[in-house]
Chains A and B, each alone.
Chain A
Amino acid sequence: MNADAAHGQPITPAEATAAVFVVIPAFNEASCIEQVVQAVRAAGPLDVVVVDDGSTDGTGDLARRFTGHVLRHLINRGQGAALQTGIEFALLAGARIIVTFDADGQHCAEDVSALVAPIEAGTCDIVLGSRFLGRAVGLPGGRRLLLRFGVWFTRLVSGAKLTDVHNGLRAFSRRAAERIRIRLDGMAHASELVDQIVRSGLAYQEVPVTVRYTPYSKSKGQSSRGAFRVALHYLLGRMIR
């Protein structure tokens, strides 16, 4: 596995109590990181890994109060890069299942158990949260259209028949996390992930989740121009390995 090759022998952190690790990539999320980490910790025996992606508002220091696993990117590298860092760390720490979770407070920590369940039951290796199978509370019309376009675009390019592609709530078995490597640093990683999931040949499924849109989470989301850029980065990423 890349992680082992890059960072030496596996580690055995004393604080790692559960084999389910929740990776939260965070960039300037000081206003809600505490709430998010606390909610995830309250959801079960989970190890929370916060990857502070070069924040300038003290996100990392705040997160450190609530979890021992805070990784700090010296400079901002994007959500895809932060996720890969967290996944590699979780693998080194002996994670059996890795869940990815957004830091902007959109996701419900209660959904984590629904994501983990199929992997624990051995029915699949990758579980993807879908707001369109579940609930999207306060989802603006424009954003809904953009997300639908993302689903259609990914289906066209990757051939994956999913209902929600750009949902940060996902779960991977250790085997899946070892096979998948996010190379696109920015937001295009979501489509890249689907690509890799399809190519890996591992079993995957979608489960319904709830995504709650707040004025804060909406302000941090993608604009339509940003979405176009993401699509371009994804296509270029497919061309240049």
Chain B
Amino acid sequence: MNAFQVLVVGVLAFLFAGSIVALYRGWSTRRESLIWCALCIIAAAAMLQPELTVRVAHALGIGRGADLVFYTAVVVMMVGFWMVYIRLRYLRRDITTLVRHLAILEARSGLSGSSGRKGPDPIHDRPPTA
């Protein structure tokens, strides 16, 4: 094993261990951890046994192992970016919902204060639910 292989495999081992830890600490779902572990194993195998990628590439009708790695990396990255983008959109939507909720609550409290309305406030004075 050359120095580069040692470095990359070390990083992949670290990521693999991180995925396991994340699963046990509840930071990621089982599916997410499984995908990360599988990616780490496949990348490590390709790094340690480059002839494996050549064999798979030939089986798929691709000329070189390096091409297979390149095409796979592009597809995986695109899927990854898309998933992150979708998650970011949902996160933005959640932030907007939260900001909106706060704005309306604040406006309501201002209204009830300025109008001098007596009696319980429909939202703030609601009894706590279980």
Contact = CB atoms under 8 A, between A and B. Distances in A.
A144 B125 CA distance: 52
Contacts of A75: 95, 99
Contacts, number: 74
What's the interface size class on A, roughly?
20 to 34
B113 to A, nearest CB: 11
Interface in B68-116: 86, 89, 92-93, 95-97, 99-108, 110-111, 114-116
A11 B114 contact: no
Contact of B115 (A9, A13, A72): A13
Given A7-B104, A7-B105, A13 B99 contact: no
25 contacts: A6-B97, A6-B101, A8-B123, A9-B122, A11-B111, A14-B114, A14-B117, A15-B115, A68-B110, A68-B111, A71-B104, A71-B106, A74-B103, A75-B95, A77-B96, A77-B100, A81-B96, A81-B100, A84-B100, A85-B99, A85-B104, A92-B104, A183-B93, A185-B96, A240-B89
Given A6-B100, A14-B115, A74-B102, 17 more contacts: A7-B104, A7-B108, A13-B115, A14-B114, A14-B116, A51-B103, A69-B111, A71-B103, A71-B107, A72-B107, A74-B99, A74-B103, A77-B99, A77-B100, A92-B108, A183-B93, A185-B92
Interface of A: 6-9, 11, 13-15, 51, 68-75, 77, 81, 84-85, 88-89, 92, 183, 185, 236, 240
